[in-house]
Amino acid sequence: MMGGDVMSSQGCTCTSCTTSTVNPDLGASDLRTDHKKSLLLRGLGCANCAAKMEFEVNKLAEVKFASVDFVAKKLSIHMYNERDLDGITDKVTEIVNNIEPDVEVLEEQGGGSTPAAAEDNCLDKKELFKVGSGAVLFAIAL
């Protein structure tokens, strides 16, 4: 074993597996009654940058915890106070732009699909069509 990692019959007990970025003082009832805000990170394409953003947002005093869903390009922020919900977007936008200037921070609208997500989906379909057409033409040329 390397680096002092210890395996037991119950699984891995190394500090990297047992350490959580979520505040351990939070109980289940705290998570049910917290104040949550979801932001879309349009243009995010780097998982490492997403992790840096999550880490920096978690350092904010008014944030209980934050997590980035890289696949959905969504940042979920759980706050201590409801009054902090309005001001957090500006702080998060500053953090995001310092790490990845081309990422646009958008407020998530209720109902799941947003105009921004629909536009991204449309752009993805156009790009897929271009690549597919190019592959067909290339195959014909052979």
DSSP codes of every residue in 54-79: HHHHHTSTTEEEEEEETTTTEEEEEE
Chain centre to alpha carbon of residue 81 = 21
What is the structure's pLDDT at 53? 92
CB atoms closer than 10 angstroms to residue 39 = 22
Q: Is a pLDDT exceeding 60 seen at residue 96?
A: yes
How deeply is 110 buried, as exposed, middle or buried, from its count of CB atoms within 10 A (0-12, 13-18, 19+)? exposed
Per-residue pLDDT for 14 more than 80?
Answer: no
Which is nearest to 63 in space by CA: 44, 89, 40, 101?
89
User: Cα(133)–Cα(135) distance, rounded to whole angstroms?
Assistant: 5
* pLDDT value at 108 more than 90: no
Pick the closest to residue 53 from 36, 71, 35, 75 (CA basis): 75
Looking at per-residue confidence, does 77 or 123 come out higher? Answer: 77
% of the chain residues with pLDDT over 70:
66
Q: How far is Cα of residue 69 from the mean position of the Cα atoms in its chain?
A: 4
- Residue-wise pLDDT tens digits, 52-87: 999 999 999 888 989 999 888 999 999 888 777 778
